[in-house]
Amino acid sequence: MKTCKGIIWGVAFVIAGILLCLDAFEVINFDIFFDGWWTLFLIIPGFVGIFADEHKVGNGVLLLVGILLLLACQDVISFNILGKLAFPIVILAIGVSLLCSNMINKGIRKSIDEVNAGSKAQGEYNAIFSGQDIKLDKEEFKGTNINTIFGGIKLDLRDAKIKEDVVINCKAIFGGIDLIMPSNVRVKVKSSCAFGGVENNNTNDDAKVIVYVDATCVFGGIDIK
């Protein structure tokens, strides 16, 4: 995925360089500082993200917003109309993102339901306009629920005992969650995200014990290490 993103960014810079060279030799008239040039900082990352990132809906919205702002700067549409469209676009994007995530994640959803049916989750951790730093030291871990709203939680499981498959249900609403895993587990993620995402950096693919992370992010993020 990172290689694909690098290739797309490389092509974008090559094209930009060629256009600037042609402009320097007066072959074409290319002005990088046209009206609304700053919208490229939304359009290009959104376009790249659609092809290279996992969360395509969010990048699609970023691309759409950038294009609409560019059209407004070019007087194709008015900023007044753009202002009226802003809130409906946000609501539509959240709905589409959640629907698409649920359809894509049907397989892992079944596995999570099976684990939840036989598990004894250990309560929950909540951070609302606050933060928590939790470390389980040589305790048996059987799953939990984590909820953040305008807050953050760090759950360190490196020294915890995880003997069987477990589920961590995470909801990050305008907040962040950091999960640090032990070396004997691998992580599988089911995510429903709008204007947020899950970064899974767990690479222990050979481990037999699975930690399922059932994540919902709205303007929030979850980082798994």
Domain parsing of the chain, residue ranges: 2-104, 108-224
* CB 149 within 8 Å of CB 128: yes
Nearest residue to 106 (alpha-carbon basis) of 190, 222, 165, 218: 190
The rounded distance, in Å, linking the Cα atoms of 9 and 31 is 20
User: What pTM was estimated for this model as a whole?
Assistant: 0.62
Return contacts of 138-147, CB within 8 angstroms, 24+ apart. 141/166, 142/166, 143/115, 143/116, 143/119, 143/167, 143/168, 143/169, 144/168, 144/169, 145/121, 145/169, 145/170, 146/170, 146/171, 146/177, 147/171, 147/173
- For residue 18, give Cα distances in angstroms to 26, 44, 93: 12, 17, 35
* CB 100 within 8 Å of CB 191: no
The rounded distance, in Å, linking the Cα atoms of 215 and 85 is 28
Other beta carbons within 10 Å of 5: 15
pLDDT of 152 over the 80 cut: yes
The rounded distance, in Å, linking the Cα atoms of 211 and 204 is 11
For 116-146, write each residue's pLDDT tens digit.
777 767 778 999 999 999 999 888 899 999 9
Q: Which residue has the higher pLDDT, 29 or 199?
A: 199
Amino acid at residue number 186: R
For 37-87, write each residue's pLDDT tens digit.
788 888 887 777 777 665 566 677 778 888 888 888 888 888 888 888 878
pLDDT of 151 over the 90 cut: yes
